[in-house]
A and B are shown apart, each in its own frame.
Chain A
Amino acid sequence: MQHIRAHVLVCGGTACKSSGSQKVRDAFARYLEEYKLQDEVMLVETGCHGFCEHGPLVIVYPEGTFYCRVTADDVKEIVEQHLYKGRIVERLLYREPLTQEQVPNYDEIGFYKKQHRIVLANCGEIDPENVGEYIAVGGYEALGKALTQMSPEQVVEEVKKSGLRGRGGGGFPTGLKWQFAKASVSDKKYVICNADEGDPGAFMDRSVLEGDPHRVLEGMAICGYAIGADEGYIYVRAEYPLAIKRLRVAIAQAEEAGLLGKNIFGSGFDFTIHIKEGAGAFVCGEETALMASIEGKRGMPRPRPPFPAVSGLWGKPTNINNVETFANVAQIINNGAEWYSRFGTEKSKGTKVFALTGKINNTGLAEVPMGITMREIIYDIGGGITNGKKFKAVQIGGPSGGCLPESMLDLPVDYDSLIAAGAMMGSGGLVVMDEDTCMVDVAKFFLTFTQSESCGKCTPCREGTKRMLEILTRITEGEGREGDIELLESLAENIKATALCGLGQSAPNPVLSTLRYFRHEYEEHIKNKRCPAGACEKMLSYVIGDDCKGCTKCARNCPVQAISGAVKQKHVIDQSKCIKCGACMAGCPFKAITKG
């Protein structure tokens, strides 16, 4: 065996793959061979590093050099300069946006400095398709410890003491959930991992499954031991092909190594895990609908109680947790509840992974201790708003969450503060919006989503969200009426109080929170038929200003002959004829046409 002197880690997360990391990896394989370095340099495909905005990412060890936006064309230079001659390729290093300073090592980058990675500790650091690398960094130690040195009661107690709460959105104490499932007496019990991540803009579960699948399997097996289950299901959407592939590889490798299957660690405990691919219905993230879907039925929720801990999958006691929740378990068992509860706030312990999207410089995944402020996440980690625009709002918690305005930026991010502010943790998707975003339009977007994802079983959700969407649509089209706001509010309260499941109960949240913080925008739309952000197309009017030279180009471009004026005279748009297509503005050589 030869001494491996360098490791090249190429990110193989979905984001980097879609920006071309497969080609980068192939190019490395080719050039390492060309320079005869293939035996002394190890090429590894890892999971997501979270810094997706700057992908494809490549890290070279032992130096820990962090290369950003690497293309296949850059690879020859990295191999020749860095791996062959030992010279860092400076032009590919990350630059801090504010100082323009080059940062060679990735733990020194602002994006990573404020993070604390427990769940994502291995993501991007190990090969997710090699159980050996997971074991080498301490994997399956927690399962071994639980099975051989702890009783199921002690495991439940440890998780309870850690203060871990469900990371899927609700925030229910995980240990308590396990205790309920454990207390149910039955010949058969199940553990389910909810990987039906569906919020627009959320991709943290996907990254954990793709980057560190064994961590989730280990968490599930520990849970199985604690509650007395010998079988588990991972319900993952079919739109996550890479996650599914890596999970299958991981399950096969774990079974081969004896880490899943019969008599694990000689303890007499058996545990097997199956994968159930979901067809991508949002409502199947709701636990009762999810179980119906596994059973082969139509994915629709049912009233609770009975709760899954009493009667779940096939009528047997079942414990359902989210991917990120399971991903925390091994660390809690390894390091103890006391260690874990040092992170976070009084009532929200540990860390949370957030997916940063929207008008933010560093799109990507960030894991931060609970209680950090929204400002720190958006500015210190996220690098602020793109194109130097002004921050307007952040949408947190997906279609069930809410929008928070600038005045709430210093709010500590934890389950309870967010609920009090009219939003919710949700799965942790953060969509950042700038001054060009219309808040009525945002509410309409999320309601369109929940409306089309409503399963139709209960009337408040099926009919109520449809009526709300109709009202929002007419407001954004300039047809809003006096009393619409009040009608929205009363519909929202009714739906919240009477819908069958979480989807319907939380569907009005985006409307309520935008009404709470941005009511004036709704009023502007309704009373003055104006969209203050200039986003609602139907309410815009195009106006020709004094820079007009009378070149007649706009009049000729207009498809509906709405523009009139003599040659070399200022032209005028007839607003009653205008269809707001924007052709005049796009073609004006003097930039004399504005919209507003």
Chain B
Amino acid sequence: MKSLADLHALRDKLKSDLKLRKESGTKIIIGMGTCGIAAGAREVMAAVLDELARRHLTDVQVQQTGCIGMCDKEVLLDVLRPGEARITYGNVKPEDVSKIIANHVVNGNIVEDMVVGKIENK
């Protein structure tokens, strides 16, 4: 490190590693109830993590949730962008993940044909 600018550059690079410990932007929430796992939620989760890594989307949080009762439509995947409605996608397959992330998470366009639920932001 030779200058203060070097420190800032390094910090900007490292900061994303710790973002998780602060509040961050968009959340992707995957149903990890027994029903979800049986329907392939772990594979969907893996696809999500791969896609986020590929696109360097470091401030997207990935969380899990339990069964919400719509077991028939598992795997359920919710996208919650700050200040927007929480959108629930149903019957999500690993191959759907890149579409959802590209359209909704990155560009804010809901993938309408896969939506099974919507919770308005309070």
Contacts and interface: CB of A to CB of B under 8 A. Distances in A.
Q: Determine if chain A interacts with chain B.
A: yes
Interface of A: 1-7, 9, 40, 61-64, 84-87, 125-126, 132-133, 135-138, 140-141, 144-145, 147-148, 257-259, 265-266
Given A265-B2, A265-B7, 12 more contacts: A3-B48, A5-B62, A7-B20, A7-B21, A62-B20, A84-B64, A86-B32, A86-B65, A135-B11, A135-B14, A141-B11, A257-B1
Contacts of A137: 18
A147 B53 CA distance: 37
B52 A3 contact: yes
B18 A40 contact: no
A87 B30 CA distance: 12
Contacts of B62: 3, 5-6
Query: Secondary structure at chain A's binding surface: helix, strand, loop or mixed?
Result: loop
10 contacts: A3-B57, A3-B58, A5-B49, A62-B61, A84-B64, A86-B32, A86-B65, A136-B11, A136-B18, A258-B2
A5 B47 CA distance: 12
B49 A40 contact: yes
A87 B14 CA distance: 29
Interface string B3-24: 1100100110011011011001
Contacts of B24: 62
Nearest to B48: A3
A140 B17 CA distance: 18
Contact of B3 (A2, A132, A136, A266): A266
B66 interface: yes
Contact of B21 (A87, A125, A257, A258): A125
Given A1-B53, A61-B21, A259-B1, A140 B7 contact: yes
A148 B4 contact: yes
Given A61-B20, A61-B21, A86-B66, A265 B53 contact: no
Given A136-B11, A136-B18, A62 B63 contact: yes
B49 A136 contact: no
A85 B7 contact: no
Contacts of A7: 20-21
Given A3-B52, A84-B32, A258-B2, A136 B20 contact: no
Nearest to A258: B1
Given A40-B49, A145-B4, A85 B15 contact: no
B116 interface: no
A126 B7 contact: no
Contacts of A2: 49-50, 53
Nearest to B14: A136
A87 B7 CA distance: 39
B33 interface: yes
Contact of A132 (B17, B50, B52, B61): B17
A266 to B, nearest CB: 5
B17 A63 contact: no
Contact of A133 (B14, B53, B66): B14
Interface in B22-76: 24, 30, 32-33, 37, 45-46, 48-50, 52-53, 57-58, 60-66
Size bracket of the B interface? 20 to 34
Contact of A4 (B2, B4, B7, B17): B17
Contacts of B21: 7, 9, 61-62, 64, 125
A85 B18 contact: no
A85 B66 contact: yes
Contacts of B50: 2-3
Nearest to A36: B42
Contacts of B1: 257-259, 265
B20 A85 contact: no
Contacts of A141: 7, 11
7 closest cross-chain pairs (CB), A and B = A86-B64, A5-B62, A3-B52, A136-B14, A258-B1, A144-B4, A3-B53
B93 to A, nearest CB: 19
Contacts of A259: 1
A126 B52 CA distance: 24
A87 B60 CA distance: 20
B6 to A, nearest CB: 8
Nearest to A133: B18
Nearest to B16: A136
A383 B106 CA distance: 46
Given A2-B50, A61-B20, A132-B17, A265 B3 contact: yes
Contacts of B57: 3
A133 B19 CA distance: 11
A208 B46 CA distance: 38
Nearest to A259: B1
Contacts of A132: 10, 14, 17
A458 B18 CA distance: 54
A135 B6 CA distance: 11
A85 B33 contact: yes
Contacts of B60: 3
B38 to A, nearest CB: 12
Contacts of A40: 45-46, 49
Contacts of B61: 5, 62
A135 B63 contact: no
Nearest to A63: B63
Given A86-B32, A258-B2, A136 B65 contact: no
Contacts of B37: 85
Nearest to A256: B1
Contacts of B63: 5, 62-63, 86
Given A3-B62, A85-B33, A144 B7 contact: yes
Nearest to A127: B18
Contacts of A148: 3-4
Contact of B20 (A6, A86, A87): A6
Contact of A136 (B2, B4, B17, B52): B17
Given A5-B49, A132-B17, A136-B17, A85 B11 contact: no
B10 to A, nearest CB: 6
Contacts of A4: 17, 20
A126 B18 contact: yes
Given A135-B10, A141-B7, A266-B3, A87 B52 contact: no
B46 to A, nearest CB: 8
A135 B49 contact: no
